[in-house]
Structure 1
């Protein structure tokens, strides 16, 4: 009986620990404040509620342990709904909704991953669905080439 309880406890702990492994998503203004205090690049996942490929990214790519670890250690991660006109925030003295910011970043397809350097001036995009390995490869190439160095 003790062995059964012990195994059950181990499975519970393992499941709990696994459930804690996720990308630490922030609101855009939280990521901006964080990078001003501790410079890091910002990764913005621009999505829509109707986008099937966006949902596939959430289900397959953003649950991959290597992707989670790399994003959490290298970026401030943001989820931004390209059709949300309700929630607004200030950025560089101007008020934006998420939809307006997606437009200002010139996002025209979904999913789209906008990478902003720590100076909040330079951006690049990685449009389209990507499986974990190609997504990591694209992100690491940007970092390795020096994009985002302050």
Structure 2
């Protein structure tokens, strides 16, 4: 019996660790639906395929365990290609491509991280490449300053 209990706890620990191996990226419309059911802020990573700093964020910052845990716990994370004019979705009764939504959010440099409050009304930006500690600090300051508070 003791062995079964220990094995069960070990499996739970392994499953939790695996769940935190990567950021749970969603499509924009999936994140909007999720926040309507369970309010959280959205973190939208606006990138382009040619952006070297975007790739560096993916490789170095978004693989950091502390960043993964922080984002997965506090945000619905979204990847949005600022040049994708083909994939469309509805938001607040209008149809947008990813490129149109990036323009609507006034993103003009990459990478850029758009934070949207749980009411889906207020946004702020955290532009530019950041190493893990710097990125967490920037997100923490946004939350600390009351952005996204209900």
* Range into which the TM-score falls when normalised by the shorter chain: 0.7 to 0.9
The answer to whether residue 116 in structure 2 is matched with residue 100 in structure 1 is: no
1:85–1:72 Cα change, 3 Å: same
Secondary structure, counterpart of 1:39 in structure 2: coil
Length-normalised TM-score, structure 2: 0.87
Distance 1:19 1:144 in 2: 26
1:146–1:19 Cα change, 3 Å: closer
How far has the Cα of 1:146 moved from its partner?
Answer: 1.4
Partner of residue 25, structure 1? 25
C-alpha contact (below 8 Å) 2:20/2:65 kept by paired residues? no
Secondary structure, counterpart of 2:60 in structure 1: helix
Distance 2:136 2:35 in 1: 21
Partner of residue 117, structure 2? 117
- Gap runs ≥5 in structure 2: 1-13
**How do 1:1-150 and structure 2 match up within 5 A?**
21-150=21-150
Distance 1:64 1:19 in 2: 14
- Gap runs ≥5 in structure 1: 1-13
Distance 1:144 1:20 in 2: 24
1:19–1:75 Cα change, 3 Å: closer
Distance 1:62 1:110 in 2: 15
Distance 1:119 1:149 in 2: 9
How far has the Cα of 1:18 moved from its partner?
Answer: 6.0
Count of residues in correspondence between the two structures? 135
Length-normalised TM-score, structure 1: 0.87
